[in-house]
Structure 1
Amino acid sequence: MTDTADTTDIRFLLTIQQSGSLVATGRRLGLSPSAVSQRLQQLEKKLGTRLIDRTARKLQFTDEGALLCQRGAELIEQFDALLDELQVRRGGLVGNLKVNAPLGFGRKYLAPVMADFQRDHPNVDIALTLSDQPLTETADRFDVVVHIGELRASNLVGHAIAPNARFVCASPAFVKRFGMPESPQDLAQLPCIVLQENKEDASLWHFSKGRTSRSVRVASRLACNDGDVIRRWGIEGRGIILRSEWDIADDIRTGALVRLLPSWKTPDANVVALTRSRAGLPRRTREFMQFLQSRFRPQPPWRS
């Protein structure tokens, strides 16, 4: 190689990798595609090796380009963590914190937490992105991804935030009209409402009682990707819903919803926070994680 890449070069290459195209990279950096292409050519000339194959319809990193991204990302994390430590010693947390979270939970519980954290650390700039499918977003765009429910195989590291059960519920008027179901199989004959999220099989509901397991395919004439809409439809008596404890605990307490099949358990949907690694996280990310966990312990607010 004729020269070495600096941190600016590595960040530039990582942005291309995360964006997936030179056009998208230009949008993120505020540059034209030709300017991005020219800068990439200059980097390749500096290093004396081709980093990206641009003849294919989709960008394909060469072995050298992939290695530089992999090792470079580790070095950038360590470098940023070092700078954060130096800034903290000079007087507080600084930098950017980007968090992705589910729509309903983010609105109700995470937004206040993040606002309070920013109030306590005024030099930290916070960006909260709410999504109905947070795991489908590019994880590298965020420092923390809040997830509720089962976590499929992932290279992200999970940090426990709060326990969260799921309950089958309906309005008192619905129960009066259709009666109280006695077993999970009864649900197949009743109007149900499903939440479509994270590309799950939303109409297949699973139950357990001791060593006995049951799965039932519910009939759904109403579906939505917004949990708050599902909850409102349930309260209005439009069908049976399967919702997280954090969302409907208050409605059960006030009687707006009635829990069905209380002797049968549905799979828990615990709240976790995901990061790209456990070690080497910036100080602001570690402090935020501790702050977030403290707001849900010893008991989460929905169990207070």
Structure 2
Amino acid sequence: MTDEGKLILAGAHRIIKELDELQAAIDNHHNKISGKLKILAPLGFGRKYIAPLLGRYMSSHPHLEVELTLSDAPDWFSFNQWDLVIYIGNLKDSSMRCIKLASNQRFLCAAPAYLERYSMPTTPSELQQHVCIALRENNEDVTLWNFQQNKKNISIRIQPQYSSNEGATVKEWALSGLGIAMRSEWDVAAYFRNGELIQILPSYQLPNADIVILTSENSTKRSAKIEKFTQLLQEAFLHTPWNTDE
């Protein structure tokens, strides 16, 4: 898309947003949750956690229309077209207002079958002799894995034999014993507990990928439909569901 096209698109999104805000103001005056709620969320996390919460929210507010977009490669230029963005990882746009939803560690992991064939790496540099699985997301450099130990930063350049833009695929490859993958705590905690995956290099820390809500509006300007769903999200993740035995 040309620069002129991007400007036109941004202007159109702004006009639509202003119309939605006008409708929201009318609904707020009548104490009514209605209109369209547009949410952007990561593929796997959105499917597992956000979609069910939206279903609950809609059942309580039948006049509401929900539009959920799931993507692991969001377009930062068009973030303002959504009412709320659920984001995992390092932020690239400080202009968005950020509400932390939950802490989320990243881990390297592999299946027991893989470790039986190739042995357990003991240092990050040994990863260069292993089969690595990479997730392409947020336009990050998937070949650079960063670690910290005793406040010392270590960066290792890997050559992933497998890569995908979909986290569930990366996890399934790891579960199948194909290699070592980097995954979020929310996605693999249950597999650590049941032994299907084993944490690699547990004495090294990877950068956290906290789960946050992004919005262009502050709490005093958010419409009732956005504010109420934000509250529902915060309540749902007050005790992170992936740290239970369920």
TM-score in terms of structure 2 length: 0.89
Unaligned residue ranges in structure 2 (runs of 5+): none
Give 1:77 deviation, angstroms. 7.3
Q: 1:139-288 maps to which residues of 2 (within 5 A)?
A: 139-278=79-218, 279-288=220-229
Matched, 1:58 2:4: yes
Q: 1:84 aligns with which of 22, 27, 30?
A: 27
Code of the residue aligned with 2:123 in structure 1: it is: S
Give 1:210 deviation, angstroms. 2.4
Bigger RCO (CA 8 Å, 6+ sep): 2
Code of the residue aligned with 1:292 in structure 2: it is: L
Q: 2:47 aligns with which of 87, 101, 107?
A: 107
Unaligned residue ranges in structure 1 (runs of 5+): 1-19, 22-56
Code of the residue aligned with 2:25 in structure 1: it is: L
Residues 181, 142 of structure 1: alpha-carbon distance in 2 compared, 3 angstrom cutoff: same
The number of equivalent residue pairs is 240
Give 1:154 deviation, angstroms. 3.4
Aligned counterparts of 2:171 and 2:16: Cα–Cα separation in 1: 42
Q: Deviations over 1:105-161 (max 9, x none)?
A: 111111101101111111111111111212446222211111001101332111111
Aligned counterparts of 1:102 and 1:284: Cα–Cα separation in 2: 21
Which structure is higher in helix share? 1
Residues 300, 182 of structure 1: alpha-carbon distance in 2 compared, 3 angstrom cutoff: same
Aligned counterparts of 2:243 and 2:183: Cα–Cα separation in 1: 15
Matched, 1:292 2:219: no
Structural RMSD (CA): 2.5
TM-score in terms of structure 1 length: 0.73
Percent identical: 36
- Cα contact 2:149–2:204 (8 A) shared by 1: yes
Aligned counterparts of 1:303 and 1:112: Cα–Cα separation in 2: 18
SS at match of 1:289: helix
SS at match of 2:190: helix
Give 1:79 deviation, angstroms. 4.0
Please identify the structure whose Cα radius of gyration is greater.
1
Give 1:87 deviation, angstroms. 2.3
Q: Which residue of 2 aligns with 1:42?
A: none
Aligned counterparts of 1:212 and 1:143: Cα–Cα separation in 2: 39
Aligned counterparts of 2:156 and 2:53: Cα–Cα separation in 1: 37
Aligned counterparts of 1:76 and 1:231: Cα–Cα separation in 2: 41
- Cα contact 2:24–2:34 (8 A) shared by 1: no
Q: 1:8-23 maps to which residues of 2 (within 5 A)?
A: none
- Cα contact 1:87–1:94 (8 A) shared by 2: no
Aligned counterparts of 2:184 and 2:17: Cα–Cα separation in 1: 37
